[in-house]
Structure 1
């Protein structure tokens, strides 16, 4: 696993751990250096959380949040955001055929995760649908109002969260990452630069020098990388 892919996976899994309440795994996965075993353990823990929170009609938002993180961690979420490629004939370029086959294989896996995580009643209603995207589209029609309310609450929580002087920057960052991830799951997309800007704006005056240097130097970091730098600044 490359360093960039590892950082992306760790970011997803930390957010999943926050969402699922598996806080005990966060320090281990943050300090692991390219440790695929740690990542595998956390994926298993989050999948267990999905099993323990099967989707029934009242808990759609919580279910969707955890399921999305699991599908991302096991690298099949992309089928929910990408239309099915055509299954080209043997005369088509190999990369086109490979992509189509990959999509259909990952879609089948995503369907299994989605259906397994539903109550029996909802499962029976969605078995046999053409794709995982169709299943999620139907669920959005059934429970969309819950999604809209949860998005409003998450936005309000994000913009009102400010770090208090004397508290740990890690705790504050994990809270911010949780809100940002929740908004992404709920359909309110923020690009990486905007996410970092919101985090920097939430820091107390003791981090003013760091923020000024970040902006003047035109730095660019992922949230996990930013967290590491903020912790180093906190220790000075």
Structure 2
């Protein structure tokens, strides 16, 4: 199971992902990096066929400046992703003996950033459609997306969109930790990226551990508050 998610904050955007890849055809899971830089000012993640996402990563690395400087970032992303999808659809062999149900060449791609004082979250679907989600404030892709949306909704009363990216990092990590508890195929290590007007910063393992300590204090404070309310 895969989950890549993004949330809008007052001063930026936070993206996060798990690292577990499920290979249905071989009946196995393994760790892989799902959150990647898009130039120095944005980040992207993907869900689906690894062959497609590998090509997308190469294309985004080579064309990040053109994408981020384009008047319409969604169209610029679409122009890079569509030829890759078409190529894999055209060369895919669906009926391989002994490999029934091994997967498809479809993939979702989501990127996020901050430009001209505004956030953006854009998704390219397997059919090539462009989705914009900055106005909604939260989006997720992957087989764990539905659960991530539910977890995000349970945190909506904290009004993450009105708080800093520091709070956003903690909220995203809480969602990922919740999915880790409820799904065996979502797991560590987690990746986090905070994006502000100063650019994108991919958190190190040590920085993520520190965010985890903040999450622990947050959860402890909630427990104390509940105890006082119902005492």
Q: Same fold (TM over 0.5)?
A: no
Instruction: State the structure with bigger RCO (CA 8 A, min sep 6), 1 or 2.
Output: 2
More helix by share: 1
Task: Select the structure of larger CA radius of gyration.
Answer: 1
TM range, smaller chain: under 0.3
- Name the TM-score, length of structure 1 as normaliser: 0.24
- Higher strand content, 1 or 2: 2
